[in-house]
């Protein structure tokens, strides 16, 4: 375990990466499992450690906008606009890839996903290593993404070279992913930069159907990560869609082997074990808390989890996108 507050630990992390190793690093979204993005062998180790399907591409992290132009073939005007508004920050953009991007990173696609994170420790490691860093979430594939260094150790301890502890992540959900390779641009994954913000910058932005709905059998995912089962705790999660009073009475009427994943204000009215994921009026808090809450649900050992469905606007869309996957798209309208 390395510590982001120690400059020598930042240098150690950078050294490991330069030698082709793997380091869990803090970012403002979630912890990333970093490797040299220009080294196919180093990136292959990411897939092995996570148990990640080989067709799910990696996001490349940079610490300077100039780096972008060395990694991609073209930068559309819309990308420059979004970069000026939201970089550094929780926004990933998809570009036609340059030849230096190994196949392991792009998973055979002709495109590459790029992000400039705002977390000072992430920037410091990228800067000190002198490398663009491929870094998917530092969890075992299928588990909730890690928002603390302890989550990373829990999933990947013994399989990676180090974790750099930079405290809890401030956004708490993975980055917004948008592709500008089509017209109009398409939101592939909602995150801390919202659909409303993207539309106010670019005009029309399409919401990819896979954000809200399961893929049909045989349908091709625009973002390969969308097709995999995600975030699921051991219990069966059911999203309950309805007002607070109905949620509370439904859960209290179905208490056997059940727990509630609820808003903080719901807790005192529920007669089953509860895990809270933030305040009803604060989607940013819900985003920050959700993955830790999903991990804590496993400790309760219940069979069913009744989750309160979040609102769908702003950052709420990103919260909903993760929860609906944790629930395997099982929603009960109250």
Binding mask 198-237 for Mg ion (x = CB under 5 A): ----------------------------------------
Report what 275 binds from Mg ion, ligand AMP, none; CB cut-off 5-8 Å by kind. none
Member of 118, 123, 137, 147 binding ligand AMP (CB under 6 A): 137
Q: Which is nearer to Mg ion, 92 or 286 (CB)?
A: 92
Extract the tokens encoding 87.
């970089």
Q: Are 286 and 272 in contact (CB under 8 A)?
A: no
Min CB(52)–ligand AMP separation in Å = 7
Q: Which is nearer to ligand AMP, 175 or 309 (CB)?
A: 175
Q: Report the residue from 56, 129, 148, 176 that binds ligand AMP according to the rule CB under 6 A.
A: 56
Q: Is 132 in the site for ligand AMP (CB under 6 A)?
A: no
For ligand AMP, the binding residues in 162-181 under the rule CB under 6 A are 174, 177
Entry field: residues in the chain: 334
Q: Residue 197 burial (CB < 10 Å; 0-12/13-18/19+)?
A: middle
Q: What are phi and psi of 323, to 5 degrees?
A: -65, -40
Q: In angstroms, rounded to a whole number, what is the distance separating the alpha carbons of residues 32 and 4?
A: 14
The verdict on 214 binding ligand AMP (CB under 6 A) reads no
One-letter-per-residue 3-state SS of the chain = CEECCCHHHHHHHHHHHHCCCCEEECCCCCCEEEEECCCHHHHHHHHHHHCCCCCCCCEEECCCHHHHHHHECCCCHHHHHHHHHHCCCCEEEEEEECCCCCHHHHCCCCEEEEECCCCHHHHHHHHHHCCCEECCECCCCCCCCCCCHHHHHHHHCCCCCEEEECCCCCCCCCCEEEECCCCCCEEEECCCCCHHHHHHHHCCCEECHHHCCCCCCCCCCCCHHHHCCCCCCCCEEEEEECCHHHHHHHHHHCCCCEEEEECHHHHHHCCCCEEECCCCCCHHHHHHHHHHHHHHHHHHCCCEEEEECCCCCCCHHHHHHHHHHHCCCCEEEC
- In whole angstroms, the minimum distance from the beta carbon of 203 to ligand AMP comes to 22
* Closest CB to ligand AMP: residue number: 225
Among 223, 284, 286, 321, binds ligand AMP (CB under 6 A): 223
Q: Closest approach of Cβ 215 to Mg ion, in Å?
A: 17
Residue number with CB closer to ligand AMP (115 or 308):
115
Smallest gap from residue 139 Cβ to Mg ion (A): 6
CB closer to ligand AMP, 177 vs 294: 177
> Taking the complex as a whole, how short is the minimal distance between the CB of residue 177 and ligand AMP, in angstroms?
5
Q: How far is the CB of 111 from ligand AMP (least distance, A)?
A: 4
Rounded to a whole number of angstroms, the minimum distance from the CB of residue 334 to ligand AMP is 31
Task: Using CB under 5 A, count the residues that bind Mg ion.
Answer: 1
φ/ψ (deg, to 5) at 312: -100, 0
Give the pair of three-digit tokens for residue 106.
Answer: 């792009």
Q: Does position 75 bind ligand AMP by CB under 6 A?
A: no
Q: Which of 118, 137, 179, 223 binds Mg ion (CB under 5 A)?
A: 137
If the CB atoms of residues 62 and 238 are measured against ligand AMP, the closer one turns out to be 62
Interaction between residue 175 and Mg ion (CB under 5 A): no
By CB under 6 A, how many residues form the interface with ligand AMP? Answer: 19
Q: How far is the CB of 95 from ligand AMP (least distance, A)?
A: 8
Binding interface with Mg ion (CB under 5 A):
137
Binding interface with ligand AMP (CB under 6 A):
56-57, 59, 94, 106, 109, 111-113, 136-137, 174, 177, 188-189, 223-226
């Amino acid at each position: 375990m390395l510590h982001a507050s120690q400059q020598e630990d930042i240098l150690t992390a950078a050294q490991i990466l330069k030698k082709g190793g793997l380091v869990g690093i803090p970012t403002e979204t979630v912890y990333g499992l970093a490797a040299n993005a220009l080294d196919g062998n180093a990136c292959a180790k990411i897939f092995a450690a996570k148990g990640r399907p080989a067709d799910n591409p990696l996001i490349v992290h940079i610490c300077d906008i100039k780096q972008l132009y060395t990694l991609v073939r073209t930068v559309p005007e819309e990308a420059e606009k979004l970069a000026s508004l939201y970089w550094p920050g929780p926004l990933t953009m998809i570009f036609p890839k340059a030849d230096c991007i190994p196949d392991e990173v792009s998973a055979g696609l002709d495109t590459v996903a790029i992000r400039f994170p705002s977390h000072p420790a992430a920037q410091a490691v990228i800067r000190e290593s002198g490398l663009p860093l491929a870094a998917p979430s530092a969890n075992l594939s299928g588990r909730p993404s890690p928002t603390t260094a302890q989550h990373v150790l829990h999933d990947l301890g013994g399989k990676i070279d180090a974790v750099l502890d930079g405290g809890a992540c401030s956004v708490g959900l993975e980055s917004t992913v948008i592709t500008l390779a089509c017209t109009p641009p398409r939101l592939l994954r909602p995150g801390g930069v919202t659909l409303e913000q993207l539309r106010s910058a670019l005009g029309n932005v399409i919401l990819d159907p896979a954000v809200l709905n399961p893929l049909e059998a045989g349908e091709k995912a625009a973002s390969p990560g969308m097709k995999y089962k995600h975030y699921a705790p051991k219990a069966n999660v059911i999203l309950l869609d309805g007002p607070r009073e109905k949620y509370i009475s439904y859960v209290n009427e179905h208490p056997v082997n059940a727990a509630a994943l609820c808003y903080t204000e719901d807790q005192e009215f529920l007669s089953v074990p509860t895990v809270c994921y933030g305040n009803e009026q604060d989607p940013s808090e819900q985003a920050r808390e959700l993955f830790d809450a999903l991990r804590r649900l496993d400790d309760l050992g219940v069979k069913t989890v009744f989750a309160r469905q979040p609102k769908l606007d702003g950052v709420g869309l990103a919260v909903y996108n993760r929860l609906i996957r944790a629930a395997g798209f099982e929603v009960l309208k109250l």
